[in-house]
A and B are shown apart, each in its own frame.
Chain A
Amino acid sequence: NAGVTQTPKFQVLKTGQSMTLQCAQDMNHNSMYWYRQDPGMGLRLIYYSASEGTTDKGEVPNGYNVSRLNKREFSLRLESAAPSQTSVYFCASSEAIRGHYGYTFGSGTRLTVV
Chain B
Amino acid sequence: AQSVTQLGSHVSVSEGALVLLRCNYSSSVPPYLFWYVQYPNQGLQLLLKYTSAATLVKGINGFEAEFKKSETSFHLTKPSAHMSDAAEYFCAVSRSNTGNQFYFGTGTSLTVIP
Contact = CB atoms under 8 A, between A and B. Distances in A.
Interface in A48-63: 48, 50, 56, 58-59
A33 B101 contact: yes
B63 to A, nearest CB: 14
Contacts of A105: 36, 43-45
A102 interface: yes
Interface residues of B, number: 27
10 nearest A-B residue pairs (beta carbon): A99-B99, A99-B94, A105-B43, A42-B106, A42-B104, A100-B51, A43-B104, A102-B46, A105-B44, A99-B32
Interface of B: 9, 31-32, 34, 36, 41-46, 49, 51, 90, 94-102, 104-107
16 contacts: A40-B106, A41-B106, A42-B105, A44-B104, A48-B100, A48-B101, A50-B100, A58-B101, A90-B43, A99-B99, A99-B100, A100-B94, A100-B96, A105-B36, A105-B43, A105-B45
